[in-house]
A = this chain, B = another copy of it.
């Protein structure tokens, strides 16, 4: 057996160099005479690791100094609820832009905690596009505007960050963070589950502007209060230390690749290779409007659903893993995050060509 090309939507492929380093030092990390999993998060060794990881992320994203970087738990889904808990009152409007299943879920989790408005939605066309900014119906008094810049299930991505006027913009960037440069200062808060471009599941990275943290209510439990987490350097309680450690290794790896701009060049080339072949094939099909196609998640269908099982079986045998599409969409999905090399996408395209020739 050997490692395949892993197209899982998440938990997703990690850089092999990172896994090899983690493997080598699993029993004895640095000079600790213990695994990094076995040491106190409050000891000087782990604090140094944690601070370095934060600094590397700040460097990579060019995070302005008036933003805090938090390393949290619970998955993005927990923060679907915790964000309105911190930044809205129950009787206050919050604006959500629906571009897929994840933004729908975010809005749903906010409902018990705020007056959720749907400012825009592309649900009427099965989330195959990003609603044009001119169509958005924003409430100027909303506590915030929430967007999901990349939707993993239907493979739709914002290719730039919308201007939403005065309301703080909040983005769930789980599946796009570190894949391309963007201007952090256009967001008041961004957050990401780690298990796509950052590290293992169980870790959430949040970048939040200082003035937004001033809104966190004092009458909620401390552990739900982002300002408390920020004040304690994300060590209000024991963090996911293994996740934080691996995230730090991934940040170093992204730096070594040339940073986010270099990742973007690679990701664009991978996406162009795959979409280019799909569009030319006359066999496979991606339903998303070209201007809104995701660089990270590429769903595609075969000409007949009956072919799906053979495609999956044969692709897996060829070392192309986890291509089954989400049940909400069917067909296939290739997630091609940062850690997927161009060679993996080329191998997929080669297989797809061959399969089409054999099953025309």
Contact bitstring A219-233, B, C-beta under 8 A = 1, else 0? 111111000000000
Bound complex: CA of A63 vs CA of B159, how far in Å? 51
Chain B residues in 8 Å Cβ range of A224: 78, 81
CB distance from A144 to the nearest CB of B (A): 16
Residues of B within 8 A of A76 (CB): 237
Task: Specify which of A109, A220, A237 lies most central, judged by the most chain B CB atoms within 10 Å of its CB.
Answer: A237
Q: State which residues 9-68 of A face B: CB under 8 Å.
A: 9-14, 16, 19-20, 22-23, 26-28, 31-35, 37-41, 43
Which residues of B lie under 8 Å from residue A238 when comparing CB positions?
Answer: 10-11, 75, 77, 193, 195, 201-202
Label chain A's interface by main secondary structure: loop
Q: Are B237 and A75 in contact (CB under 8 A)?
A: yes
User: A126-134, A135-143, A178-186, A239-247: which lies at the B interface?
Assistant: A239-247
A299 contacts partner chain B, Cβ-Cβ < 8 Å:
no
Instruction: Check if A13 sits within 8 Å of B38, measured CB to CB.
Output: yes
- In the assembled complex, the Cα of A38 lies from the Cα of B35 at a distance in Å of 21
Q: How long is the Cα–Cα vector from A81 to B220 in the complex, in angstroms?
A: 9
Among B81, B112, B202, which residue has its beta carbon within 8 angstroms of that of A239? B202
Say yes or no for A2: interface residue by CB 8 A criterion. Answer: yes
In contact, A11 and B26 (Cβ under 8 angstroms): no
Tell me, yes or no, whether A73 is within 8 Å of chain B by CB: yes
With both chains docked as a complex, state the minimum distance between the C-beta of A195 and any C-beta of chain B, in angstroms. Answer: 6
* A-B residue pairs in contact (CB < 8 Å), sample of 24: A1-B28, A2-B28, A3-B33, A4-B34, A11-B37, A14-B38, A16-B27, A19-B35, A23-B23, A33-B319, A73-B73, A73-B78, A73-B240, A74-B74, A74-B223, A75-B237, A77-B223, A78-B237, A81-B223, A110-B221, A113-B221, A195-B238, A201-B238, A201-B240
A11-B40, A73-B202, A109-B222 given; 7 more Cβ-contact pairs under 8 Å: A4-B33, A8-B40, A13-B38, A77-B237, A80-B221, A201-B238, A202-B203
